[in-house]
Amino acid sequence: MSERSYAWPEGHWDWYQHLAFKHGVRAGEMVFVGGQVDKTPAGEPLRAYDLASQTEVVIRHIDTVLKEFGAGLGHAVKLIAFYANDGRVDEAAFLERIGHHVLSHTGTSERAGPAITLVPLPCLALPGMMVEIEAIAMLGDEGEQRERIPANPPELPPMPQPFSHGIRCGDHIWTSAQPTLSPGSRIQHPGDLIAQTDVAMTHLKQILEAFGADLNDTVNLRTWYGGDGTREAWERAARQRAAYFTVPGPAVSALPAPSLPEGNMTRIDAWAMRGANGSRLTRTYANIRDAWQWPLDLPQVAGLQCGDMVFVGQQVALNAKGQPIAPGDLMEQTRRAMTSTRTVLASFGLTLDDMVKQNSFYQGEADPETIVNNQRYRSSFYTEPAGASTGVPLPSFPLEGLMVSVETVAMARH
The string of pLDDT tens digits covering residues 51-99 is 999 999 999 999 999 999 999 999 999 999 999 999 999 999 999 999 9
Q: Is 140 exposed, middle or buried (0-12, 13-18, 19+ CB in 10 A)?
A: middle
pLDDT per residue over 234-271, tens digit each? 999 999 999 999 989 999 999 999 999 999 999 999 99
Report the mean per-residue pLDDT for the chain. 94
pLDDT confidence bin for 274, thresholds 50/70/90: very high
Is the separation of the CB atoms in 301 and 313 below 8 Å? Answer: yes
Rounded to whole angstroms, the Cα distance separating 216 from 345 reads 22
Give the DSSP H or E segment for 345: helix 330-346
Is the separation of the CB atoms in 281 and 306 below 8 Å? Answer: yes
Q: What is the pLDDT of residue 291?
A: 86
What does the CA dihedral 237, 91, 97, 6 come to, rounded to 10 degrees? -30
Rounded to whole angstroms, the Cα distance separating 117 from 153 reads 17
Nearest to 144 by CA among 175, 169, 116, 171: 169
Radius of gyration of the chain (CA): 19
Taking residues 392-413, report their average pLDDT. Answer: 96
Rounded to whole angstroms, the Cα distance separating 231 from 227 reads 9
Rounded to whole angstroms, the Cα distance separating 278 from 10 reads 42
CA-to-CA dists, residue 6 to 27, 226, 341, 365, 382, angstroms? 9, 36, 22, 30, 14
Q: Given a cut of 50, is residue 107 above it in pLDDT?
A: yes
Percent of the chain with pLDDT over 70: 99
Q: What is the pLDDT of residue 235?
A: 95
At 309 the three-state DSSP class reads strand
pLDDT confidence bin for 1, thresholds 50/70/90: very low
The 3 state secondary structure assigned to 5-31 is EEECCCCCCCCCCCCCECCEEEECCEE
Confidence (pTM): 0.97
Nearest to 105 by CA among 149, 58, 150, 143: 58
283 vs 288, higher pLDDT? 283
CB-CB neighbours of 265 under 10 Å? 26
Q: What is the pLDDT of residue 184?
A: 76
Least confident segment among 53-62, 101-110, 156-165: 101-110
Nearest to 200 by CA among 220, 236, 225: 225
E runs forming strands in 250-333: 251-256, 266-273, 283-285, 303-306, 309-315
Is the separation of the CB atoms in 208 and 272 below 8 Å? Answer: yes
Domain ranges of the chain: 4-411
pLDDT confidence bin for 173, thresholds 50/70/90: very high
Is the separation of the CB atoms in 130 and 45 below 8 Å? Answer: no
Least confident segment among 139-148, 158-167, 180-189: 180-189
Is the separation of the CB atoms in 358 and 316 below 8 Å? Answer: no
Q: Which amino acid is at 355?
A: M
Taking residues 206-215, report their average pLDDT. Answer: 97
Rounded to whole angstroms, the Cα distance separating 344 from 42 reads 35
Percent of the chain with pLDDT over 90: 88
Q: Given a cut of 90, is residue 113 above it in pLDDT?
A: no
Buried b (16+ CB within 10 A) or exposed e, 96-122: ebbbebbbebbeeeeebbbbbbbbbbb
Rounded to whole angstroms, the Cα distance separating 233 from 31 reads 35
Q: Which amino acid is at 62?
A: I
